[in-house]
């Protein structure tokens, strides 16, 4: 299939221009005549090579989409709006990408097609939304909704990262303390316990073993850790292993509930935004499946796609996945019957984001003291490992 740019006369004798996908020039001319158009110029467009591009910050992309939407709403043509965004100085990377988009739009390409040439910069969901807005003639509205969706995703990501900062600091300092203990203090006790080498308590032997791994055999230990990491990464790429790990993750007490809620919020917001902007159900669900980010969710969406193709609903497969609470499933079921699924899914996503915030707060309140307890217990165990043999030495004197 190729893309042909044409100039033709319609039945009223008006000159019309446009793009047409067809197998060859003769087929394109036949297609135009079948539409009641008389072609006077027909040229095949050269396909642009797919560009790798660079990932742009989500929040910056959201603000850029909102800026373009405001310009379009004020009556500024799309090409001029893209040119204006391409000249901004505050975000050079964003400006460079949109300047290239403006050049391609000026050459006659649709904005969605120009964006699809850069899959690393513009995910499929964004391209699908833009394409739907172009076809329906509501591009400014779609850009505003896309901006809202990306801002919601950025806010959720910021909350998660912000909540994990303090636990991460605790882990780092705990590891530093334990490494200093095993490398600086534990080795000094080995000569003192030389006479009890065969009668050392098991906990002391284990402590010296860890000290040797971090000191004398650091190179081998590092290689072993790298080997384990590589092995885990390799195993995670196997579909069966990923499926089992994902199912196991969902069974964890607090993390499992948080994972389910995050996956449900992401799915509902993406699918709801796509449907609300005119993307067909099957296509929207395929995009939601690719962007699900979770194996169990992807399987649930695949089952829902098959259900829709067979004339069924999406609520039943989603309920069977275990990722959605019963009240959410019921809302989806009612929305399908009322034919307002897109709006309801976005509402569910907003409500679910609030649940995520509460779950994060609960998880952090549990994790912080737990980390302190773990660090304290490890330090106490090391102290006990060093004090127990000293008691035996004192009794032998």
| CA nearest to 277, candidates 116, 69, 55 | 69
Residue at a domain's end among 125, 151, 177 = 151
pLDDT of residue 15: 78
Of all residues in the chain, the percent with pLDDT exceeding 90 is 5
pLDDT of residue 47: 53
Q: Is the model's pTM score more than 0.85?
A: no
Both 375 and 286 in one domain: the answer is yes
Does residue 156 lie within any of the structural domains?
no
Both 23 and 99 in one domain: the answer is no
Does residue 377 lie within any of the structural domains?
yes
Average pLDDT over residues 334-348: 86
Whether residue 391 is predicted with pLDDT greater than 80 in this model: the reply is no
Res. 13 pLDDT band, cuts 50 70 90: low
Average pLDDT over residues 116-122: 84
pLDDT of residue 71: 92
- Average pLDDT over all residues of the chain: 82
In order, the DSSP letters of 90-135 are S-HHHHHHHHHHHHHHHTT--HHHHHHT-TTTS-HHHHHHHHHHHH
Whether residue 108 is predicted with pLDDT greater than 60 in this model: the reply is yes
Average pLDDT over residues 106-115: 84
pLDDT of residue 89: 81
Does residue 7 lie within any of the structural domains?
yes
Both 103 and 184 in one domain: the answer is no
| 28, 31, 116 from 14: Cα distances, Å | 19, 18, 32
Both 239 and 315 in one domain: the answer is yes
Res. 46 pLDDT band, cuts 50 70 90: low
CA dihedral 233, 235, 236, 242 (to 10 degrees): -170
Does residue 376 lie within any of the structural domains?
yes
Both 226 and 113 in one domain: the answer is no
Q: In this predicted structure, which of 71-75, 126-130, 174-178, 246-250 has the lowest mean pLDDT?
A: 246-250
pLDDT of residue 80: 92
- Phi/psi zone of residue 26: left (φ > 0), alpha (ψ -120 to 50 degrees), beta? alpha
CATH number at residue 102: 1.20.81.30
Both 261 and 187 in one domain: the answer is yes
Whether residue 68 is predicted with pLDDT greater than 90 in this model: the reply is yes
Does residue 157 lie within any of the structural domains?
no
Tens digits of residue pLDDT in 295-308: 888 888 888 888 88
Question: Phi/psi at 329 (nearest 5 deg)?
Answer: -60, -40
pLDDT of residue 300: 85
Both 224 and 295 in one domain: the answer is yes
What is the total count of domains within the chain? Answer: 3
Both 216 and 245 in one domain: the answer is yes
Both 286 and 178 in one domain: the answer is yes
Q: In this predicted structure, which of 44-48, 110-114, 313-317 has the lowest mean pLDDT?
A: 44-48
Dmax over Cα atoms in the chain, in whole Å?
115
* Assigned token pair, 140: 């400014």
- Residue 98, classified by CB atoms within 10 Å of its CB into exposed (0-12), middle (13-18) or buried (19+), is buried
Tens digits of residue pLDDT in 129-159: 888 788 778 888 888 888 988 888 888 788 8
In order, the DSSP letters of 222-241 are HHHHHHHHHHHHHHHTSHHH
Res. 162 pLDDT band, cuts 50 70 90: confident
Residue-number span of the structural domain to which 186 is assigned: 165-397
Residue at a domain's end among 85, 118, 151 = 151
pLDDT of residue 393: 63
Angstrom distance (rounded) from CA 295 to CA 256: 14
Angstrom distance (rounded) from CA 349 to CA 274: 13
pLDDT of residue 63: 92
Residue at a domain's end among 95, 118, 151 = 151
pLDDT of residue 253: 77
Average pLDDT over residues 99-110: 86
Does residue 160 lie within any of the structural domains?
no
Q: Within 10 Å of residue 224's Cβ, how many Cβ atoms? A: 12
Say which residues have a Cβ less than 8 Å from residue 320's Cβ, sequence separation at least 6: 300, 303
Average pLDDT over residues 186-203: 76
Does residue 222 lie within any of the structural domains?
yes
Both 221 and 317 in one domain: the answer is yes
pLDDT of residue 146: 86
Both 38 and 62 in one domain: the answer is no
pLDDT of residue 134: 83
Does residue 103 lie within any of the structural domains?
yes
Res. 205 pLDDT band, cuts 50 70 90: confident
pLDDT of residue 202: 85
Question: Phi/psi at 19 (nearest 5 deg)?
Answer: -120, 145
Both 259 and 373 in one domain: the answer is yes
């Amino acid at each position: 299939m190729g893309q042909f740019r044409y100039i033709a006369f319609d039945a009223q004798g008006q000159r019309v221009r446009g793009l047409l996908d067809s197998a060859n020039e003769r087929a394109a001319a036949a297609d135009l005549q079948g539409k009641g158009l008389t072609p006077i110029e027909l040229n095949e467009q050269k396909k642009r090579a797919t560009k790798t591009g660079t990932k742009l910050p989500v929040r910056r992309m959201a603000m850029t989409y909102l800026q373009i939407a405001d310009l379009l709403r004020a009556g500024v043509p799309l090409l001029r709006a893209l040119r204006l965004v391409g000249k901004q100085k505050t975000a050079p990377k964003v400006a460079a990408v949109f300047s290239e988009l403006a050049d391609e739009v000026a050459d006659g390409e649709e904005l969605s097609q120009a964006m699809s040439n850069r899959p690393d910069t513009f995910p499929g969901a964004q391209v699908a939304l833009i394409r739907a807005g172009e076809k329906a003639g509501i591009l400014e509205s779609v850009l505003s909704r896309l901006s809202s969706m990306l801002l919601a995703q950025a806010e959720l990501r910021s909350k998660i990262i912000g909540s994990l900062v303090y636990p991460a600091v605790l882990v780092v300092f705990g590891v530093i303390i334990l490494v200093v203990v095993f490398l600086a203090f534990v080795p000094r006790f080995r000569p003192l316990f030389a006479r009890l080498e065969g009668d050392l308590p098991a906990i002391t032997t284990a402590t010296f073993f860890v000290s040797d791994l971090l000191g004398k055999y650091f190179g081998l230990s590092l290689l072993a850790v790298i080997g384990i990491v590589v092995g885990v990464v390799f195993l995670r790429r196997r579909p069966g292993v990923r499926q089992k790990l994902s199912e196991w993750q969902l069974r964890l007490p607090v993390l499992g509930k948080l994972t389910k809620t995050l996956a449900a919020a992401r799915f509902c917001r993406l699918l709801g935004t796509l449907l609300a902007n005119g993307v067909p159900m099957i296509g929207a669900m395929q995009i939601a499946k690719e962007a699900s980010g979770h194996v169990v969710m992807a399987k649930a969406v695949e089952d829902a796609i098959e259900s829709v193709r067979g004339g069924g609903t999406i609520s039943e497969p989603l309920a069977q996945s275990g990722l959605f609470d019963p009240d959410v499933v019921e809302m989806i079921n009612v929305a399908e019957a009322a034919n307002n699924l897109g709006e309801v899914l976005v509402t569910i996503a907003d409500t679910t984001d609030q649940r995520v915030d509460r779950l994060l707060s609960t998880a952090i309140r549990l994790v912080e003291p737990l980390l302190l307890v773990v660090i304290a217990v490890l330090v106490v165990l090391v102290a006990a490992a060093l004090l127990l043999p000293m008691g035996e030495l004192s009794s032998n004197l």
